């Protein structure tokens, strides 16, 4: 996301716009970054058109190879059904219940309010 630490990884990726998902997810605050999980909440963010090398770099960042996150292609209104998101895979359902939920569905909005 614009203004956050790892955004430089998207420097060569065209920004496509802001999005809001269908209410099929939940967003949690892990401190320095958010985590998407399955749930009944809409989440908000930014969409970028990425090439394969950028996707591979993001896969390494998100720990796809060690199972920290998994990739899902979802349907997002106004953007179609091939939008890639990274969903947290490292927490049990019981552990997730103890994480602070971002009620707004937007990590950007949350961090601007909570510093």
Active site amino acids = 62
Between β-strands 34-38 and 25-29, what pairing exists: parallel, antiparallel or unpaired? antiparallel
Burial (0-12, 13-18, 19+ Cβ within 10 Å), 9: middle
Closest of 46, 44, 35 to residue 104, by C-alpha: 44
User: Which residues touch 107 (CB under 8 Å, ≥6 apart)?
Assistant: 1, 27, 29, 33, 34, 45
């Amino acid at each position: 996301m614009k203004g956050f630490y790892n955004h430089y990884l998207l420097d060569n990726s065209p920004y496509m716009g802001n999005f809001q998902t269908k209410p099929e997810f939940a967003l949690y605050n892990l401190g320095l970054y958010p985590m998407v999980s399955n749930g009944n909440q809409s989440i908000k963010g930014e969409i970028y058109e990425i090439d394969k090398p950028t996707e591979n770099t993001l896969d390494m960042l998100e720990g796809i190879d060690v199972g920290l996150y998994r990739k899902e292609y979802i349907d997002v209104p106004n953007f179609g059904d091939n939008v890639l998101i990274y969903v947290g895979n490292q927490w049990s359902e019981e552990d997730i219940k103890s994480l602070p939920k971002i009620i707004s569905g937007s990590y950007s909005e949350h961090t601007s309010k909570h510093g």
